[in-house]
Structure 1
Amino acid sequence: MEIRSILFPTDFSEPASRALDHALVLAHHFGTKLTLLHVETPYESDPANPRHEFPEPGELFTRFRGQSTDRLAGTEPPVRQEDIEIEEVVLRGISAAREILAYADENRVDMILMGTHGRGAIGHFILGSTTERVVHGALVPVLTIQHGEDRFVAKGGRYEKVLIPVDFSEASRKALEYGVEIAGRFGSELELVHVIEPVLAPQALFAGGASPVAIDPDIRQRSRTALADFAGDLLPERYEFLLKSGRPHHEIISTIRERNCDLLIIANQGWNALD
């Protein structure tokens, strides 16, 4: 796996500024080009403007440089401007998500990194309309950074624990490939989780609602064997394998909280979404 270019769409909001910390550090770690992209839409620029005109781009480039310079100064460990190739792009269109996806495709970027606008207890998994459209439409991995307390900066620009759900699909194998690479670059602990969904089988009727793991004592070992066959030589020497039973989205969220994970890498409709 090789990451040569990272696309960072920004609306200059506080969530975007926080997400830029991640983009700068990742670009530095991978030695990649970082493209800062802002999409100007007439309706978002000035809703009170009856002609819905686009603003001039000069001010936007000034804001780009201000945002990137401010965040570079605050990264830990420090990242210097000269250490990263940064490109600034302004596009104009009716749909920000459509322009982001088109740019990523036309310029063959390897990863998209975006902030989210979700708030509150459930906000961790609410992306915001533009980010959600990009996640579902992108043909490359998308790293989304939640809005709120940023442990990434507090931990010195490191992902200490990376979690990858595995369902033995081709998409989850691709997610595993990216996860192993990122964990290796940051020296992160790597945890893999496989969730078995309960089915109404005859033996379950007599087990008092026990989980498949409790009903079948050999399922854990069979899952480990299946993981080894599935992952091949992708797996590093050190990782932890977790086997859960229940609704996958509930168990994944629960695992993130219980294990205090910093980065979730999960397959999404045939490709990758990272959070």
Structure 2
Amino acid sequence: MKRILVPTDFSEHAEDALKVAAQIAKKNNCEIFLLHMLELPSQMSDAISGGSGIPEVMLFIKKANETFQKIKERPYLNGISVSETVQFERASDGILSFCKKNKIDLIIMGSHGSSGIEEMLIGSNTEKVVRLSDIPVLVIKKDIGKFEARNFVFASDFSKEIKKPFKKMIEFTKIFDANLFLVMICTPNSFKTTLVAEKVMNDFIADFDIQNYSFHIFNDVNIENGILNFSNTINADLIGLCTHGRTGLAHFFNGSISEDLVNHTVKPVITFKI
């Protein structure tokens, strides 16, 4: 993990994410890439692609670059290699394409979350990136000061398809020498006896050489509540999940536990794509 992307709209939430990125970068000798997306009206975008200079566009670029320079002078970025880019594209699409072009290892994003009708109608660029990104996404909800992942909850059904993203998760835990809490949430709709759940988890972990972990089985009314309640009981620093990256009708009907958690918990959440 050497290349971290922090998308920014220059808000406080984006700066909260950047502060965490700086701490991870210093701990792991990483480079930080700052990305600001400008979603312009179609006529402006056409003019840019045709090489025309539009005063309004030039002003947007100038202001963004001026803000970048101020951000790079923040004391918490001292000693870190930081590069900045202004890109003309829809935010979520631009973030994902930037990652592929620049071989990004981790995305760190700020999010204020939402609920109810606002969540349904407006959605969130953070949620879209969480759902669609092929690389891990760490979502920061507030200024958390010193970022720690000593108590790291990883919630899963521990099926075979989880094994590949689980390897990425292990790499992340090693950076922070984390205590890994592996938890299976049992609900009325997905109930397993303790013996069955323990066997599933033991069979899963047998393929990995990891230290500092423990198994937990937690019962709750639904998976999201189970993860949140368990995380609160052990005072988790970070919640880890795998996401299927569903789109379209599949996403509408099945929902997304990862996106719900991004919206409804103040704890940092990191997601790994299956």
With the shorter chain as reference, the TM-score category is 0.7 to 0.9
- Paired residue for 1:265, among 240, 255, 260? 240
Compute the displacement of 1:238 (Å): 2.1
Deviations 1:50-94 (A, max 9, x none): x99423423322212322332xx24xxxxx633x3221111012x
Aligned length: 232
Contact map agreement 2:72 2:82 (CA 8 A) in 1: no
Q: Say yes or no: does 1:87 pair with 2:83.
A: yes
Compute the displacement of 1:100 (Å): 0.9
RMSD: 3.0
3-state SS in 1 of match to 2:236? coil
Aligned counterpart, 2:100: 105
Contact map agreement 1:6 1:109 (CA 8 A) in 2: yes
Aligned counterpart, 2:148: 158
Q: Say yes or no: does 1:66 pair with 2:109.
A: no
Name the % identity. 27
Compute the displacement of 1:268 (Å): 0.9
Question: TM-score scaled by structure 2?
Answer: 0.73
Larger radius of gyration: 1
- Paired residue for 1:31, among 29, 52, 58? 29
Deviations 1:200-242 (A, max 9, x none): 9xxxxxxxxxxx57xxxxx434433322321334352322211
Q: Say yes or no: does 1:238 pair with 2:212.
A: yes
Contact map agreement 2:178 2:212 (CA 8 A) in 1: no
Query: What one-letter code is carried by the residue in structure 2 that aligns with 1:256?
Result: S
3-state SS in 1 of match to 2:73? helix
- CA distance in 1 between partners of 2:70 and 2:98 (Å): 23
Equivalent runs, 1:165-244 vs 2, <5 Å? 165-199=155-189, 219-234=193-208, 236-244=210-218
Query: What one-letter code is carried by the residue in structure 2 that aligns with 1:274?
Result: I
- CA distance in 1 between partners of 2:243 and 2:127 (Å): 11
Query: What one-letter code is carried by the residue in structure 2 that aligns with 1:179?
Result: M
- CA distance in 2 between partners of 1:58 and 1:105 (Å): 26
Contact map agreement 2:187 2:219 (CA 8 A) in 1: yes
Judging changes above 3 Å, is the alpha-carbon distance between structure 1 residues 167 and 270 closer, same or farther for their aligned structure 2 residues? farther
Contiguous gaps of at least 5 residues in structure 1:
44-50, 75-79, 201-211, 214-218
Deviations 1:86-109 (A, max 9, x none): 21111012x111111111122221
Aligned counterpart, 2:20: 22
Equivalent runs, 1:117-156 vs 2, <5 Å? 117-118=112-113, 129-146=124-141, 148=142, 150-151=143-144, 153=145, 156=146
Contiguous gaps of at least 5 residues in structure 2:
42-53, 247-257, 259-268
Question: TM-score scaled by structure 1?
Answer: 0.73
- CA distance in 2 between partners of 1:260 and 1:172 (Å): 25
Runs ≥4 residues deviating over 6 A: none
- CA distance in 2 between partners of 1:20 and 1:62 (Å): 17
